[in-house]
Structure 1
Amino acid sequence: MTERPKLQVAVVMRREKIDNRWQPWRWVLDAVVPQEDRFGAEPRLLREDAGEALWLHPGFEVELFRDDAEGYYLNASSPAPCWFVLWRMEETPTVADEPIARPAIVTLSYHDAGRWLDAQETVENVPAPPEVVALMREFVEAHYVPEPKRRKRPESFKPLQDRFGNPVSVSTDKVRGGGGHG
């Protein structure tokens, strides 16, 4: 594998009715599917009824990078390997005068997903199909090198420091007299 693997995918977002007087609808990630030429380049409504609507967002490229092999390893070795999708609400275009969910990035890396979550982004996941998991595992086997475990020094051998990082000493001498309250 000398070239970086690239997968062309599309994201399906679902708008579903919920029983809430402040928010009658919510958006959730429905699926990540292989890109097809017939999808075109623009988001489009696939299906809609009184309870839900499915929107297809084509044109995402998922590329595997050597320097993120650990992120793919964490995903591939998990009990349920998955796609991670970062998505945001977009005011325009709208659906029935409501903002629409717009996927921004698709990845297979736990590290990417973790950074996005730390940044307070909306990230959801759906299971990755076996052929994608196999590709990810092959990439991990070729490029992931676990960091050697470093021995942690016992706490009892670490030098004592105050909250500013200055060395401190501890005395077992008993202080008498309460410090001059005379």
Structure 2
Amino acid sequence: MPRSHPNSVTIPVGVVVRRTPGVTRWAKYAWTVTDILPGAAPADWKVLRSEGDVTEYHAATLPLTLYVPDAEAYAHELQARIPSIYTVLRPNAESGGVPWSVALVTASPYEAQDYCDSAEELVEKLPMPHGLHALIVEFVDKHYEEEAFVKRRRKNARVDQTDDGIGDARIRQTTDVYRAPRRREVAN
């Protein structure tokens, strides 16, 4: 569902998909996302390169939109050892020789994780290109403020009372709840 935010940033990103021969009799081809192209022109499964049975396609160009409310997720991704971009491929209903359609490109690991919960989509993680990395770093620096941790306290807690070891006053008990349990004597 498209969202809009006044300070969001959008950049077109092309998705490169590689088709290789399948290694089992059940899959004729294996499809993997191999690269992204920041600032790419529109494309619809345009062949980029073909060597033998291996073909690379510029599958689609989708907008990568950075939203201010998601700045924490982008900051989290930038702290990873290898910052990444995520692509989501969906099974193509109108199979015209291409079994996948590119559904989403995102820099948010949280959004990508939501798509991983279903086994329907194919989620691929790709290293973030340097130019895109610089754009996201600038966006995070401008819009992200880390919230200070505040320990949660119980509301209306009575701290002036002391525990007497008897437990909840509403439950009838004759002894201390913290006592060691007694052994029951077995009658012969």
Q: TM-score, with normalisation over the residues of structure 1?
A: 0.74
Aligned twin of 1:175: 182
Give the 3 Å change call, closer, same or farther, for CA 171–19 of structure 1 in structure 2: same
| Greater helix proportion | 1
> Matches of residues 30-179 of structure 1 in structure 2 within 5 Å?
30-37=34-41, 39-40=42-43, 42-95=44-97, 99-120=98-119, 121-151=121-151, 170-177=177-184
Contact 2:7 2:67 in 1 (8 A): no
Question: How many angstroms apart in 2 are the aligned matches of 1:125 and 1:11?
Answer: 12
What do the CA deviations read for 1:82-114 (whole angstroms, capped 9, x no partner)?
21001122143333xxx5222100011111112
- Structure 1 residue 23 and structure 2 residue 22: aligned? no
Contact 1:90 1:101 in 2 (8 A): yes
Aligned twin of 1:9: 13
Question: How many angstroms apart in 1 are the aligned matches of 2:61 and 2:29?
Answer: 26
Give the 3 Å change call, closer, same or farther, for CA 16–181 of structure 1 in structure 2: farther
The Cα of 1:116 is off from its aligned counterpart by 1.5
Contact 2:87 2:104 in 1 (8 A): yes
Contact 2:7 2:68 in 1 (8 A): no
Unaligned 5+ segments in structure 2 are 1-5, 154-170
How many residue pairs get matched?
161
Question: How many angstroms apart in 2 are the aligned matches of 1:58 and 1:181?
Answer: 83
Unaligned 5+ segments in structure 1 are 154-166
Contact 1:43 1:56 in 2 (8 A): yes
Give the 3 Å change call, closer, same or farther, for CA 112–181 of structure 1 in structure 2: farther
Counterpart residue type for residue 9 of structure 1: V
Q: TM-score, with normalisation over the residues of structure 2?
A: 0.72
Percent identity between the aligned chains?
Answer: 25
Contact 1:17 1:24 in 2 (8 A): yes
Give the 3 Å change call, closer, same or farther, for CA 19–139 of structure 1 in structure 2: same
Counterpart residue type for residue 108 of structure 2: S
